[in-house]
Amino acid sequence: MDSFLMTCLLIIVPVVTINGYSTGAPKGACKNLMPNHEGAVAQTTTSPYSISVSSTTYKPGETITVTVKGELFKGLILQARSSSDDTTPIGTFTIPSTNTKTTKCTSDSDTWTHSNSTNKREGSANWTAPSTNMGDITFRATIVQTKLKFWTNHEKAVSAQSGLRYGVWILFVGLLTVAMVVCN
């Protein structure tokens, strides 16, 4: 390895480690939602945190309030994933609560994370669904209590409700059945 590269690594590595992502989850966490803190592994005990939503169904373009609470926490990374593609975050987050922010993994504001490592008792943000039907979704999150203590795999399912379309379909099948019975 040449000495320039070596020097760069020696400078960059400690800076990243010391910083500990206090201003939000790093890019590397976009897919697996792992904080990748040096020497930290996910807790296997039951998480003290939970995700709650203002509605367990949604329609395209609708907004849901997502809340994270439990014990005090320093950091989080939370996204909505469609059940047909569990790798790409969908929708957009707005009005992140104090000491949290929205960030971009694939598209603008598709991820909600902390902006500062101050202990938070509770956090919330609004999530707006894409305008096209993405089917059922799941909010997925990793929540960081301290640099070495975090829980992954927080999930909250929200099902797609294509209300009008189903209604029209049921009406159509109903009328067809009546027509078949009457005409026979």
Ligand X SMILES: *[C@@H]1O[C@H](CO)[C@@H](O)[C@H](O)[C@H]1NC(C)=O
Token pair, residue 109, equals 């504001």
Site string for ligand X, 35-74 (x = CB under 6 A): -------------------x--------xxx---------
CB of 6 or CB of 95, closer to ligand X = 95
Distance of alpha carbon 51 from alpha carbon 59, whole angstroms: 20
Contacts of 12 (CB under 8 A, 6+ apart): none
* Residue 146 binds to ligand X (criterion: CB under 6 A): no
Is residue 121 within 8 A of residue 70, CB to CB? The reply is no
> Quick one: which of 67, 88, 116, 138 contacts ligand X (CB under 6 A)?
116
CB of 21 or CB of 30, closer to ligand X = 21
Contacts by residues 171-180 (CB-CB < 8 Å, ≥ 24 positions apart): none
Segment contacting ligand X by CB under 6 A, of 77-85, 113-121, 159-167, 174-182: 113-121
Residue 128: CB minimum distance to ligand X, A: 8
CB of 64 or CB of 80, closer to ligand X = 64
Closest CA to 89 of 47, 31, 46, 34: 31
Token pair, residue 115, equals 């902006």
Count residues contacting ligand X (CB under 6 A)? 12
> Quick one: which of 43, 88, 97, 99 contacts ligand X (CB under 6 A)?
99
* Residue 113 binds to ligand X (criterion: CB under 6 A): no
CB of 56 or CB of 118, closer to ligand X = 118
CB of 82 or CB of 100, closer to ligand X = 100
Residue 94: CB minimum distance to ligand X, A: 6
DSSP string, 15-79: HHHHHTTTTS--TTHHHH-----TT-----SPPS-EEEES-SEE-TT-EEEEEEEEEEESEEEEE
Q: Applying CB under 6 A, which residues contact ligand X? A: 54, 63-65, 94-95, 98-99, 116-118, 126
